[in-house]
Amino acid sequence: METHEQPGDSEGRAKKVIIEPDTVAPLSVVNETLQVKFAEDVAAQATRLDDLAKQLITLCIAVPGIYAAVLKMVAGKDAMVPREDLIFVAFSAWLLALGASIAALLPEKQAVDPDSLTEIQGYFYNTARRKYVLICFACFFSFSGIVVAVLSIFLH
């Protein structure tokens, strides 16, 4: 190891000691494997969130259809629809959830320097964060729609 000392300044600050290694030891197989797995996991976050968004799209399409079928079956031909305003709110919430789920699947254009490791890592983190936020909104609106739909049945 080499040691370099930088002189103190005129204001009486202490000297800085810089230690530079003569050689760098290669990573062990375990550490190298851990680094590779970490990089793969960071890169795969967006894919896992895409799968979740696809499931939410299925849910956002199925739940309103099931609700409409059950409502028609329970209400019959001559019955009045209970609380039309709540039904409108429920279907609007499901539509917002569907929109947020679809938006999570859409790609976002980002300028990334392929030679900068921090920009590449930031790209994966930013993409996953955007998808995560949109999926959280979709879950909130989907659950809200279900709650309002149940309330519309009991508050007629």
Percentage with pLDDT > 70 across the chain: 78
pTM of the complete model: 0.70
Instruction: Name which of 19-33, 35-49, 56-70, 117-131 the model is least confident about.
Output: 19-33
Token pair in block for residue 6: 């930088």
Question: Which among 28, 86, 90 has a CA at the least distance from the CA of 63?
Answer: 90
Question: Which among 40, 48, 44, 142 has a CA at the least distance from the CA of 100?
Answer: 142
Q: Residues 135-154: pLDDT tens digits?
A: 999 999 999 999 998 888 77
Distance from C-alpha of 57 to C-alpha of 105, rounded to nearest angstrom:
10
